[in-house]
Amino acid sequence: DGKVRETGTHDELMADPNSKYRKLHEMQNMGIEYKDEADDDGNTASDNKHHHHHRHHKHHHIQHNHKKHHHRDDSTNLPEDKEVEEYVDNSENTKEKQKEKKNASKARVLAREDWKLFGIGSVGAVLAGLMFPGWGIVFAYMIEFLYYPVFPCDEDAGIMPPPPYTTCVQYWDFVADDMQGMSITLTYGWLGIIGATCIGNILIFYGFGTASEKMNKRVRDAAFTSLLRQEIAFFDCRTVGSLTSQLQDDAAMIHSFSGEPLRQLIMSLASVLVGVVVSFIFMWPFALVSLGTIPFMGFGAEMEMKMYMGEDHGDHSKDEEDGPGAIAIESLLNIRTVASLSLESNRLDDYEKALTNGNEDIVKSSFKKGSLVAIGQFIQMWGCALMFWWGGWLLSKYPSTFTYRDFLISMFSLLFSLSGLGMAAQGATNRDKAKEAADRIFDLIERESAIDPLSKEGYKEG
């Protein structure tokens, strides 16, 4: 049903700057202009395209519905397919990064009013992070206390006390008083560690946890409002069960763009930075060598912490339309239909199959997790062996410069601070899944309905 707008040859129509054919041709070819490197006279591929395009056509009829026809020029000198694919891949990666930045910015805007809660959570993260190097210092004192050397002393047998003590009673009194003082110091140290742990984690869960729940509610409200605005056709290809289960999981992952990275950063810095500084103060040669093992020890500590604390916390599998969560929700929402048609057994079979399909790779994933934990333990054990050997060599080589207490504090403050990395990463959301969740959430929130039932715009009678 189109109408003829222009008639002429390709060259004639392209020569007219106001030609609709020329505008359509340029729009169809407004992608990449490839240069012909083998062209000696300097002509570009786009020039060749204009010269050769549709030479066998004498006349062109431009119609309103002509946009669906794309003319390709086989004589155009194009780059290799590999270069085109690389360019397209780079373009897609750039678009994905830009979209990720936009989604992260949107998530931060949603969480902007919770800055007070983030401040409270940050204070808790500092206390929780400082707990680990502090724990290492107290543990070093405890090791020294448990292995406190008491030398034999018997004046009648001719075994005299070590200098500067002249009698055994004087030496024993000093040892008893010294151990009592150390035990009191250890008690205060453990109380401080317990207090910092309790207060820090309470502030973390109150600050970041409350902010996460508030943000979760905002996302759910915005998504639910957007769902109410959608036309009926939107739900024809999307079941209620898949929408609700997907929204439940996606909304819980949005906080990975706001409070979660802040908690991880502050807690990691407070733990590792303080541990490294303390280690350098007490025994800098030992800390210098041990510093090179931090990346490997950190990996081992993280793997071990995931094993003890649960690697899959916060990493929920995505419920698709045929997933167990979607099947259960859909069955409960339509329980009258299921009961009237006696479909209970069929729905139960579908649910069991969905559970089985979700665990097809459980052996492979378990082997992978177990291997990672084993590698982490291997790295930690050999790292500790290197530290003990190097520390012992320094004590034997420079007895007047470093003490046994310096070695213990330097080593354990550094080792325990690495546990802060694993604790900070514990419960972290999978980044790739969080990106996908953010894409789905914001696409739904920003989707414009073809028929908006809540819109106040339009014609009103009267």
CA distance 264 to 374: 25
What is the b/e burial string over 114-152, where b = at least 16 CB atoms within 10 angstroms of the residue's CB?
beebbebbbebbbbbbbbbbbbbbbbbbbbbeeeeeeee
pLDDT for 135 equals 93
pLDDT tens for each residue of 358-388:
555 677 777 877 787 788 788 878 888 888 8
DSSP-based three-state secondary structure for 31: coil
**Total residue count of the chain as it appears in this document:** 462
CB 327 within 8 A of CB 354: yes
DSSP-based three-state secondary structure for 7: strand
Give the global pTM.
0.58
pLDDT tens for each residue of 297-316:
767 766 666 665 554 444 44
Whether the predicted pLDDT of 123 surpasses 90: yes
Of residues 332 and 111, more confidence is placed in 332
| High-pLDDT (> 70) share of the chain, % | 75
> Lowest-pLDDT range, 225-234, 248-257, 277-286?
248-257
Among 150-159, 259-268, 287-296, 315-324, the range with the most confident prediction by mean pLDDT is 150-159
pLDDT tens for each residue of 421-434:
777 776 667 777 77
pLDDT tens for each residue of 140-186:
999 999 999 999 999 888 899 998 898 999 999 999 999 999 999 99
Of residues 176 and 227, more confidence is placed in 176
pLDDT for 46 equals 42
